[in-house]
Structure formats: structure tokens, C-alpha cells
Chains A and B, each alone.
Chain A
């Protein structure tokens, strides 16, 4: 936003949606507030894309377990739309989606979610933290529901994106289910200013989330000096 500043935002649309780029933005700070109050037609600038994406080649022929929490679901939407595209769907085996939010109102892409729920060839498990009168689906934190759904680690990859606390407690569940660290991929978030590995704040150990990430396998994270 000229005159306001820049924010790093993941792309929520899939490469198969060729006509537009979709960004799902939570109103949080200066830049995102200005984006929210912008009128249709307002000119903004985009730099990028920076960094890597989900390891789609490695995922071919495998079962995909997608675990997301809160507003971090945006790049997972991109992933799901890509996988479900009619040209791509046959390249992947079973798809399991576990998506948790604090309350029913916080889910992004509600109409798409209900379409996905109707599909026979994917499992969609939506959960909220605490019981709510307008909610007849799962109740419980993402790690708990992951344990309950218990996706098989056989020929599977897990793609995880969510708040640090969700990641922290989901990892042991996945490991308990038999997922090895190279099978677990995380998309991480850090404060960023440049996107090109120069401004110095998004590092995890000697790697930069903006150029080496944001997607890391847990196996790779294990080799870095990190608190993760």
C-alpha cells in the first residue's frame, strides 16, 4: 500500500486459478487495515512471489493430510484447490483435511468448505475449540481431533499450517500416529520486511523463512538451531 507500507501475505489462490490472485487478509495492523478499508479499484503494489511452496512433486502418488488452524488456512486453500483440480486430483491418493478455529464464525472459505465436505473422495473434519449452539461438527483442539481422525502415515505426507501453539501440540500427535519427521511439512510465519533474505529478522538458525521457507520439513527444522 503506497503511503502505508508492506505486509508479507501468502497466496490463497491456486496456480490453477489463472485469472486472479486471491489474498485472504486479516485486519491487524496499519497495512491490513488500509487494505480492508480500500474501495474496489484501488491500486496496490505486489512484490514477489518469494520463497518456496508446498512440495507438490514429492506429494504425487501419496495420501495428503492437511492440518490447519485459524487464519493460517489461506495457503492451505491454495493447496487444496490445486489438488482437487480435475487435472491434478488423480496424481494424489486420499486427502484428509483437518481445520480448526476458535468459533464457527472464524472459518475462511465457508462455501468451499461445505462443497469439499460433500465430496466422497476426501475427508473433511472441521472443529471448533469449544461447543457452540450453531455447531454440529467436531469440538476440540486440532491436535485432539487429529488424534481422533488418526490419518494413516502409510505413504502419506502431512502439511501443517497454523499458530505456533497448534503446531507445537500437533507434532507429537503426528509422530505418535507414525509420521516420521521427513513426512511432516510446516509452513512457518516470521516477521519480514524484504522477502529476499537481506533484512535479517525472519531467520530460523542460519536459514531465512522468506527465501528458504516458509515451508520446511520437520526433518530439516531438526537440523537448524531453533526453538521450534
Chain B
């Protein structure tokens, strides 16, 4: 857990009480200094609120000028990854006129922003992306231009979903890892806690609120244990790197790949998947022969064969089982080897989205069973 700068992290003055009816005012005050990314209905037209196409998404909301009510949700279907690593992102643009090429780097007009209301799994996904994008010789400026201007205010998870398994991957519904500040929801009120040194920036915004009562803190702790009890699957992945090590050529991958459609939905929905393609887009070619183009990076997925198809026709991952295996090894073996962290936050989105009901938890259980048998067989 990251320090708050306070001696006692559980002392009452670490928790400020924001009554639910004052949350909007709190957000408005933040909105004067920061752009806000909030859980909001996709369709802002009230009359369409109940329709199917009106799910909750994370989006920019100007609470100073728009009606806004903080909604209830377990988690948002689409992770907030896209705000720091967009599905499509211009790296640079250029103008070509004859043999003259003018390159324009994308200007860094990034406003300070807050992603508000994210769960611990998504906060931890940003920690993973931070580690990855800063790794090696080349840190990713496109990601960090946005990341360095982004603060994360989370909300502890009172009602995890049946697909959640954050506690198996070092997270938890009440874990505060990765947050700059966090809210705990109680009936009628939120408790606000500053978590990271960056979160100290919120101090002036909460100073006027009263401290939590001992009763509040007790209720928070009760909620925390209730939430943990909701998570029914608990795996011990302490040895997963080694367990996978011996199963690289095991038939399990063929078996799993047999039902997999290789649609890639699991990786597009994943808050930690970060592989991308780079494409060229010519926007406009006018009569005098001047063209304007962009180099764009877009999300890509290791689940499709084109991902690794070489010009020669050779494809190291042509077979479906090699792609199924790549996804699991990347998150549960290569990530541990390269960065000493797991590449999964247990949000369960891939389980929800899979059209053939594949469940990454079951895959991991299976891996562990086989690894155990292999070991005992030796």
C-alpha cells in the first residue's frame, strides 16, 4: 500500500465524509481545475436512458455545464484504458508536396484530468501499463504525455461481480494500489481517502468536510469483508510462472484453442492488453499533388493470425493453439520474467465478453492441475 504521508492510515482524520448529495458539488469543484472522466450513460438524451444502447461508459463530462448524477454500477464494461492508450491514435502527421515532406509532431496539449470512479482492477491496470510503457530503452511518450497529467480517484468495490477474480492476482475490491485517492461508499455518504503523494493535490478540496466517525470506519471495514466474500474464485498464482514453464508444448493449448473463435474480443476488452498495429492514413490528396497523411497506431490482437504473418508467408503463430498460448503466457509468464508482475488484474471482462464462454480462471486452474500432475509424475 502506498503511503499517505500520515502516520496512521486508519486514523479518522484520513477519511473525510462527503455526503452523497454533495458529490456533485465536489465534482464541480474538481472540474474547475481538471477535466473529468466519469461513468456516464452513453446516450445523454434522458428519454433514451432505458434503451439497450445506453450502457454506462467512461467519458468526459463537463459537470459545470451538464446535468450529472453519479450512477450505480458494479464495473463499467469498457475499461478506461482508452483515455491513455486510445484505440486509434495519431503518432504524427505529414504533408507531402512533390519530394518535400513536412512532418508535424502531434502537439502536447494535454489538460490535467481525473479518471473518477474506477475500480481497483482498472487502477492496477494503469500500473501495469506504466511499467510496460516505461520499460526498456524507449519509454512511450504518447502514453506518458497523457498519463503524467492524469490522476485516478477510485471507488472501492462493494459488490464484485461473479466474474471477478482480482484477489487471485494480488488485487482486491478494497485494495487501494494504483489510486491517487479513493472513495468508500456507505449509505448516504462517501468516505474520501488520499492514497498517493499525487493525491495530496486533493487535500484543499476535502479539507472542509468532517472526519469520519468510528462507526463509519467500522461500516467501511464490514463492507470490505462483505466484498471479499463475494469473490468466489480464489486461485493461488504464486508459482504460475514455473507452472507454465513446463507446459509450453502440452496438449492443453490445442484443447482450449479448439473451441476458441480467435475473435480477439478478450484482448480488445482487456484493460492491460497493449499490443498495437501501426498504419498509414492518407487523408487528402488535392489536385496540385499535395497530400496530407498520418501515421496512426491502433489496438491490435495476438489472437488473429495476421498479427504475426511475415511478408515471406511464414507465420510463427499460424496455429490457433499458439495464439491461445501466447495470450496466457504473455500475462502469466513473460510478464513475470520481464517485469516481475502479473499482466492480469482479474477484472473478468474477458470472461464476460467471450462468445464461447471461455473462462481464463478455468484455464489457470487446469494449468495448475496439469503442472501438479506432471511434477508428481516425475
Contacts and interface: CB of A to CB of B under 8 A. Distances in A.
Contacts of B278: 5-6, 193-194, 199
Given A197-B135, A225-B333, A28 B311 contact: yes
A108 to B, nearest CB: 15
B275 A191 contact: no
Given A163-B312, A200-B302, A211 B136 contact: yes
B374 interface: no
A201 B137 contact: no
Contacts of B5: none
B136 A191 contact: no
B330 to A, nearest CB: 8
A146 to B, nearest CB: 21
B298 to A, nearest CB: 10
Contacts of B308: 190-191, 201-202
Contacts of A28: 311-312
A120 interface: no
Interface in A51-84: none
Nearest to A206: B334
A2 interface: yes
Contact of A3 (B137, B291, B314): B291
B311 A201 contact: no
Given A191-B307, A227-B322, A2 B136 contact: no
Interface in B69-83: none
B137 A196 contact: yes
Contact of B275 (A3, A6, A196, A200): A200
A164 interface: yes
Nearest to B281: A3
Given A3-B282, A189-B314, A205 B138 contact: no
A163 B275 contact: no
Nearest to A27: B311
B147 interface: no
Interface string A2-44: 1111110000000000000000001011001000000001110
A32 B274 contact: no
A197 B337 contact: no
B101 A193 contact: no
Contacts of B101: 2, 43, 45
B243 to A, nearest CB: 13
A131 to B, nearest CB: 25
Contacts of A29: 311
A203 interface: yes
Given A198-B132, A200-B330, 6 more contacts: A42-B99, A190-B310, A199-B275, A199-B278, A225-B245, A227-B316
15 contacts: A2-B94, A2-B101, A3-B293, A26-B311, A32-B311, A164-B314, A189-B310, A189-B314, A194-B278, A196-B137, A198-B133, A198-B140, A198-B274, A202-B308, A203-B334
Interface of A: 2-7, 26, 28-29, 32, 41-43, 45, 163-164, 189-191, 193-194, 196-206, 211, 225, 227
